[in-house]
Structure 1
Amino acid sequence: MAASKKPKSEEQVNNNNKVDHDHDDDDEDDVLGDNELSYIESIALPVISLEPATSEILDVIEGQREQISNAGDEELQLGGDNSNSDSDGQNGKQIEKPSHPKRRKPIGFLHYCCFIKELESPYEYSKGVKMWMLFVYAFAGMVPAMGSAVFYPSVHDIARDFHSNLGVINLSVGLYMLSLGIFPLWWSYLAELKGRRITYLISYSLFFLFNIGCARASSVGMLLVFRVLTGGAASSSQSVGAGALGDIYIPSQRGRANAYFYLGPLCGPLFAPVMAGALTERWGWRSTQYFLMIVSFASFLSILFGLPETLKKKPIPEDVIQSRKRRKEKNLIKYYAYLFFEYVISPFMALSLLKHPAFLFAISYSSFGYGCLYLMNTSIPQLFEAAPYNFSEIIIGLLYLPNGIGYITGSLVSGRWSDHIIKKSLKQNNGVLLPEARLGFNMICAGILVSSGLILFGWSAGKKVFWLVPLIGTFMFGFASLMIFTTTLTFLVDSMPNRRSAAVSVNTFVRCIVAGIASFIAFPLINALGAGWLYTILTGISLVFLVLQVYVKKKGPEWRAKMTMETG
């Protein structure tokens, strides 16, 4: 290791994105000045982790770790409770933590309504408070998932009500999923710019209102429009929630936290079909939309009164403030063009992460699994309402239970397993965080189980075998897919410590696009290929993606080192 090589600090790397303040006055005529573009990129684009952990740059890492240690970096030093001393879980040192966490001046939207006070360091919240906040995040994440699943048992009832066919009604499910994927790009940008709390409160207020439109829809077109709006409104939950977890949990605790968080989005399809089946049989499909209104209002109240702001806001540079002021005074049209770029176009900058192989391959596997999940959910009514099963709507709803039970048991295993792996890696690498360590034997086991569950469900349901056999396949798929989802999510959060919400929003964008497409094509593919051959093809694709994860684990540190150099 060359002793003469000077380490580059994170501050130096970030400063490379800035420009000289001595710019010409003519630059004010541009729609975006370089200083403003740099500021927008700092919000919209995740900063790549500066811990690439390859042998060529270990000296850089050592320099960073020394600087971080001297600065009292919270993520390396603070644990998850308020005890006076504890091990930091990464470098094995005993640290002293304040017995009374320091409060900060509240910055959250409607902060006076929240019973939990804001802290300078969200890592210092007690274990009980963190568990409550985790529950609020997970419950909020369950609401949009329920919004898609409530339609499964009631598609025939909706088709009869509007004198339409199943293909058109399934279009509402697909459009809902597409909006769930696209809109998080803006929600995550708002969360990084204005805060987590205000983003949640706005989105769930809109979700409540748009569900009134769904419940009162008088035509298929009106239903489709409001389904798109409800999906977009509720889509903040997963990207913002997963990013907020990174605000309060250190890396060695995030695996378990993300596993519990994912129970919300994945258990929505467990509870919603059961409730929807019973509600549809008793009061019709519109009652399911009123049910969503009740659930979303409960989530809104839990956020309003029980979720403090955890974001550490970056102050807007003075030169950006002055540049905006001069532009507004000089040319109002260009000023509004700048605002349009900042709030409408710039969130798409986060999609540039997909050019990096490590993120592309990891997100692709998670997205494919999510697409299989929605294809399976869409297939269940088609396969089990026909002879010889002839199940009623409420029984169809109950068929989703094994999948959900698989999610619950998977969460108990995957988070602990992932955290165990990362703690072992930290010890082996002198406290350096290697996100790729999570992509180990646990992912191989999960990939094999997912493939086995897919092929078991496809052939047994397609050949009309006794109903319990395909449900075993759904349980296996649910158990293993949660391991894949949570491991991938934690990998992304660990790799993007400074822009977690934006990183997760890209993951949500891709997987919901895939899920929406899967909802569109489920019926025609089953009719054309049969369930057995369709799920055989999906099994083969799943195994290909599994091999790619092994490649990510091998090449990931090198790829992250390259990303670090590209960003500064």
Structure 2
Amino acid sequence: MEIKPKRQSTSLEIENVIEETTDGDTKLYLENAIKKRQEIFPDSKKETLTEPTLPSHDPKNWPEGKKSIILLIISLASMISPMSSTIFYPAIIAIREYFKTTEFIVNVSISVFIFFTGTAPLFVASFSDTYGNRRHVYLVSLLLFTIPSVICVLVKNIWVLITMRAIQACGSSATQCLGAGVISDIYIPTERGWAYGILYLGFYIGDLGGPIIGGFLAERLGFTWIFWFLAIFGCILLPLIFFFLPETYRHDHANLTQPTAPSQPIMQNFKKFNPLTPIKLLALPNVSLKIFYMSTIWAFMYVQNVIIPIIFYESYQLSYSFIGLTFLAPGIGYLIGSVIGGRYSDYVLNKYKVAHNGFSYPEIRLNSIWFGCVLIPVTFVVFGWTLEYKAHLIFPIISMFLGGFGSLFVSNSTITYLVDSYPELSASAIALSEFVPCIMATIYITITVPLKDAIGVGWLFTILSSINLLSTGLIVLVYFKGKGWREKQQMRALHV
């Protein structure tokens, strides 16, 4: 359990940091630094705490029922970002025909949405982490989502639609990094894997339900009803957030001038609001390598989303509704992978703590991902070549399910690893982990159709799978070197 003292930190708190995060020569080095501090400040008495405790007002001490309601609300809110993205895919053909435009321009509209989905959270996360405000940012973000959804119903020009979708993306995407911040506020590290599993359960219910709803609405009522649906959903979430989501950020975190937790020294470098502040985290190798690896997984997910409506419509002659139903395969895989991956991640961490007298460190959580790291490239290669040779529909469907399962089995643990490593910068870390993959996904989506036409869908997914498999080495590097990197970061921040 984290130690959150009610006063200015002394050498005692620094010793607690050392016990949790260092060993060997690094530990000895910091212990000597504490002795020097005591010589300079003789009034600083050494104290003994028999049991680490959290202040009674800390949100981590809120009743389990209250925390469960909060988790349910932020999980529901997390549905709007993937839903507003995937609900669009089954209607691609209908939108192209309605606006009398090209396949490339429609893909540009998807790329723009993905770009702002990754960019907007940088501003939101930096503001939220700097000023300690989750609730009000939630409300503003939902307004930015709901109002453009209504305008999208009325537009007659594809470029106005693209503009409104960009604003819609800014509002919807904020819910993911804010949800990560809330979980970091109210749950201790050994509970976060499970909590993230529930958060991403909501996320991927939205991802799963979006294409089904979009296909049905596009075929039966017209694609404009997609945006009516999103606007209604936003109007439901607004009062839920307003009346039932309290502020979860503990503001005395921001007032501490000395380190009290492994991430606290790092946080001192992120005091002022700056929309680009989360990008500074890329200077930390354990963050940047992990995010680059995750970008190769997101490539599969977004390229697959663009490929499915085109090939299933042209090669398998499926209707809009049936195209939407095919998204059930990866969606169910996401759901199962998220829950099982989160549970297994917590199990691996707790097992290590039991075997080591309560001691652990964030990199241990990565021990839970290796199965998924192998499953992902294999299944997407199979997916590409089954489409290339127009195999029976069941084979790409199975591949989509297994690929979705593996993707979330890995993603859940690696995202939780970031939060465990830098809990006070959780929203910024999550925003960054979405920003870089979304920027790369924007490029992937734009070039998907030209590449598919040039080399075929089989070779397209073979290339993506090869990149993903090679990048697995980056996660292996984080596993073996991440602990040492974080200790050096803490020493530099402590100025000892």
Structure 1 551/495 Cα, relative in aligned 2: closer, same or farther at 3 Å?
Answer: same
1:285 and 1:56 mapped to 2: Cα distance?
Answer: 63
Please tell me whether the aligned partners of residues 447 and 546 of structure 1 are also in contact (alpha carbons under 8 angstroms). Answer: yes
Q: Distance in 2 between matches of 1:313 and 1:293?
A: 33
Conserved in 2, the CA contact under 8 Å of 1:49 and 1:497?
no
Contact 1:152 1:378 in 2 (8 A): yes
Gaps of 5+ in 1: 1-8, 17-47, 79-101, 103-119, 318-340
Among residues 409, 413, 427, which one is paired with 2:336 in the alignment?
409
Letter matched to residue 308 of structure 1: P
Q: What RMSD in Å do the two structures reach over aligned CA positions?
A: 2.8
Quote how far apart the aligned CAs of 1:51 are. Answer: 4.5
Q: Give the alignment of 1:423-462 within 5 angstroms.
A: 423-440=350-367, 442-462=368-388
Match of residue 53 from structure 1: 22
Hey, what does 1:382 align to over in structure 2? 310
214-223 or 508-517: bigger deviation: 508-517
- Kept in 2, the 8 Å contact 1:446–1:481? The answer is yes
Counterpart contact for 1:402–1:471, Cα < 8 Å: yes
Whether the 8 Å contact between 1:453 and 1:474 is mirrored in structure 2 is yes
Correspondence for 2:445: 519
* Counterpart for residue 155 of structure 1: 92
Q: Which deviates further from its counterpart, 459-468 or 359-368?
A: 359-368
The answer to whether the Cα contact below 8 Å between 1:410 and 1:482 also exists between their aligned partners in 2 is yes
CA contact (8 A) 2:126 2:276 kept: no
Unaligned runs of 5+ in 2: 1-6, 35-45, 256-270
Pair 1:349–1:391, CA change in 2 (3 A): same
What's the counterpart of residue 125 of structure 1? 62
Deviation track 1:447-469 (CA, whole Å, cap 9, x = no partner) reads: 11111210111100121000010
More helix per residue: 2
Equivalent residue, structure 1, for 2:327: 400
Aligned match for 2:393, one of 467, 470, 473: 467
Q: What secondary structure is seen at the aligned counterpart in 1 of 2:369?
A: helix
1:309 to 247, 251, 260: 247
3-state SS of paired residue (2:481): helix
1:285 aligns with 2:223: yes
TM-score of the two chains, using structure 1 as the length reference: 0.76
- The 3-state SS of whatever aligns with 1:279 is helix
Aligned partner of 2:213 in structure 1 is 275
Deviations 1:115-164 (A, max 9, x none): xxxxx221122333222211211111110111111111111111111110
Match of 1:191 in 2: 128
**SS of corresponding position for 1:147:** helix
Which residue matches 2:150?
212
- TM (norm. structure 2) is 0.86
Whole-Å separation in 2 of the counterparts to 1:201 and 1:234:
11
Q: CA deviation at 1:301?
A: 2.1
Question: Taking structure 1 as reference, are residues 161 and 425 closer, same or farther at Cα in structure 2, changes over 3 Å only?
Answer: same
With over 3 angstroms needed to count, the CA separation of the structure-2 counterparts of 1:421 and 1:384, relative to structure 1, is: same
Match status 1:418 vs 2:345: yes
Deviation at 1:445, TM superposition (A): 0.1
- 1:316/1:542 CA distance change after superposition, 3 Å: closer
Separation (CA, whole Å) in 2 of partners of 1:491 and 1:269: 23
Deviations 1:401-424 (A, max 9, x none): 011111222133111110011112
What's the % identity of the aligned pairs? 32
C-alpha deviation, 1:433, in angstroms: 3.6
Q: Where does residue 417 of structure 2 map in the other structure? A: 491
Match of 2:189? 251
Q: Give 1:560's aligned amino acid.
A: R
Residues 235 and 12 (structure 1), Cα distance of their counterparts in 2 relative to 1, 3 Å cut: farther
How far 1:265 moved relative to its partner?
2.2
Alignment of 1:26-425 (within 5 A): 51-59=20-28, 69=49, 72-74=52-54, 120-192=57-129, 193-314=131-252, 346-387=274-315, 389-425=316-352
Q: Note closer, same or farther for the CA distance 1:498–1:284 as it changes in structure 2 (3 Å cut).
A: same
Aligned residues between the structures: 459
